[in-house]
Amino acid sequence: MLLEVEHLTTEFTTRRGKVQAIRDVSFSIDKGEILALVGESGSGKSVTSLSIMGLLSSNGKVVNGHINFNGQDLTAMSEKQLRHIRGNRISMIFQEPMTSLNPVFTVGDQIMESILHHTKLSKKEAYEKMIALLETVGIPNPTKRVKDYPHQLSGGMRQRIMIAIAMSCEPELLIADEPTTALDVTIQAQILDLIYRMREQFNISVLLITHDLGVVAEAADRVAVMYCGRIVEEGTTKEILTDPRHPYTLGLLKSIPRLDDISERLYMIPGMVPPPEEVPPYCAFADRCDRCTDECRRDLPPLITTESRKVRCIHANMGK
Condensed to tens digits (0 to 9), the pLDDT of residues 105-117 reads 999 999 999 899 8
- Residue 13's nearest CA partner among 63, 65, 49 is 63
User: In degrees rounded to 5, what are phi and psi of residue 122?
Assistant: -75, 170
What average pLDDT does the segment 27-31 reach? 95
Give CA–CA dist 78/35, Å, rounded: 27
Give CA–CA dist 183/148, Å, rounded: 20
**Contact predicate 39/226, CB 8 Å:** yes
CB burial of residue 308 (10 Å; 0-12, 13-18, 19+): exposed
For residue 274, what is the DSSP state? P
78-88 pLDDT, tens digit each: 988 998 898 88
Give CA–CA dist 108/299, Å, rounded: 54
Taking the complete model, does pTM exceed 0.75, yes or no? yes
242-300 pLDDT, tens digit each: 999 999 999 998 887 776 766 667 788 888 888 888 999 999 999 999 889 999 999 99
**Domains in the chain, CATH or no CATH each:** 3-89+171-311 (3.40.50.300), 102-168 (no CATH)
Residue 36 three-state SS: strand
Count of other CB atoms within 10 angstroms of residue 169:
18
pLDDT at 196: 87
Give CA–CA dist 234/37, Å, rounded: 9
- Residue 214's nearest CA partner among 242, 249, 241 is 241
CA distances (Å), origin 85, targets 9, 69, 117, 172: 22, 10, 12, 10
183-201 pLDDT, tens digit each: 788 888 888 888 888 888 8
pLDDT at 69: 95
pLDDT band at 318 (very low <50, low <70, confident <90, very high): very low
Pinpoint the alpha helices (H) of the chain: 45-53, 79-85, 97-100, 107-118, 123-136, 142-145, 155-167, 185-202, 213-219, 237-242, 247-254
